[in-house]
Amino acid sequence: MNFDEYFKLKGVTLNITNGCNLNCVYCFEHSKNAKHMSVDDAIKIYDRCYTNYLLGEYKEPFLVNFFGGEPFLNFSVMENVMKYAKDNNHKTEFGVTTNLTILDDHMIDVIDEYNLAMLVSVDGKKEIHDRNRCGTFDIVKNNVHKLREKGLGHLLEARMTIMPDDVKYLLESVKTVFEMGFDFIAPVPVMDTLWTPEQIKEFRDADETVWDWVISVFNDESNKRNLQVKLVEDYLEQVLIAPINDYQRKVCTAGSLEFCSIGVEGDILPCHQRHTVKEGYEELLMGNVLKSDEIKVPEFSCKTFEGAFDCNDCIAYPICKGGCPSENYTYNGKSNRMNVIQCSLTMAMANVAINKQKEIMSCSNIRSRRLNALKTNLEVLNELMNVIASDDNEEVSKNLNEFYHRLMNMKDILIPTFSDAIETLIEHLVNNYKNS
């Protein structure tokens, strides 16, 4: 099939360079090279993807994430693509994944002009970051300071990679990143390396200390910062929705019809992590956007998944998303087959979230926009549960109809997981009434 027949794009990752100025110890990109995407090709690729996006008539803006290598090594491509989108009045939002070691005044001005969101690789306390990421802690800290001085702190999110030997420093590292100026923090344990049972238990205990610290911040009436910690908020959202979640959501957009990743020479892959990994490249190659409209559909999806253990007996089953499809593919040859480490760490994080959910949702000074949205969505969900609690079918039918009409006016405040689950529950109820 052709490009427009297959894709209904909401966004795209542009791998604008295969080169990097660092050589981090855990990097999954084993085939880095000096190839850069040209400005002309980048605009052609962006334009082709945006044209496809318009076919979907989406309300949300088109999303473009610049990836590498280190994208700031090819900054002219980012600048020119963003300028092209603005000059043509495109409804597009931009982001970049970066080590933030390359930054000058002109780059700061461009970041400001185009509201470029930055996912910054920073691994916590100085000793850990410098060991993992080539001694760049002070450079990153200084550049974060420069961006915050310009009022751009809201564009920054920290991506913390957690190695097994560093688990004991998890809370200290999260606090360090917060003190550096990041309000948005995403600690992510490495799941493609060996963890001992002792390290997994240590991670579970460390995860709990992070939750306790977040709770203390959310109960601090003097705190004015909008702290968001991803391993807290992601798992909390899934725990809250679990009682009516009878389906599994994908871990990410990889392998979907709505997103793809395009490399420096136009190759289309289902996942941004695969452009500099030789293993399986030809099997996952979908086509080349600069050469042809033809699309080959690879076996790469996370719509359903298998676990390394018995999923039906797993505490994390209602909220598990199946792990990273790329890591699954590398180690199992299947994107929807989780390995033992992923299973064990997911169970640990789910266990903490289940135990801490009531405590965190009752905090007195939650400034996180997402958590406040979660509280609102939870109130809507509880209202639905009250509607259907009656034993009188006629009363339930009447109240359900009234609730559904109000729900149509709440679309802007509903989080997708809640919206999907609520609509699924209503559909089940309607079908049950029809069949009764």
- Domain borders along the chain are 368-435
Structure tokens at 156: 């920054």
Structure tokens at 103: 């930054």
Query: Torsion over CA of 233, 188, 239 and 225, rounded to 10 degrees?
Result: -10
pLDDT in tens, the chain (436 residues): 899 999 999 999 999 999 999 888 887 766 677 899 999 999 999 999 999 999 999 999 999 999 999 999 999 999 999 999 999 999 999 999 999 999 999 999 999 999 999 999 999 999 999 999 999 999 999 999 999 999 999 999 999 999 999 999 999 999 999 999 999 999 999 987 899 999 999 999 999 999 999 999 999 999 999 999 999 998 888 877 765 555 445 567 888 899 999 999 999 999 999 998 888 999 999 999 999 999 999 988 767 778 888 887 888 877 777 888 888 888 888 888 888 898 999 999 999 998 998 899 899 999 988 888 888 887 887 777 777 777 777 787 788 778 877 777 777 777 777 777 777 777 776 676 666 6
pTM for the full predicted model = 0.89
DSSP state letters, 194-229: ---HHHHHHHHHHHHHHHHHHHHHHT-TT--S--EE
What pLDDT was estimated at residue 244?
55
Structure tokens at 281: 């490249």
Q: Output phi, psi for 188, to 5 deg.
A: -130, 115
Pairing of strands 62-67, 92-98: parallel
| CA-wise closest residue to 124 among 152, 163, 69 | 163
Kind plus residue range of the DSSP H or E element containing 236: helix 230-241
What pLDDT was estimated at residue 247?
47
Pairing of strands 92-98, 11-15: unpaired
The contacts of residue 69 (CB under 8 Å, 6+ apart) are 15, 16, 17, 18, 19, 20, 29, 32, 276
How many CB atoms are closer than 10 A to CB 163? Answer: 18
CA dist., res. 141 & res. 324, Å (int): 29
**Strand stretches in 74-135, DSSP E:** 92-98, 117-121
Pairing of strands 117-121, 267-269: unpaired
Whether residue 371 contacts residue 217, with contact meaning beta carbons closer than 8 Å, is answered with no
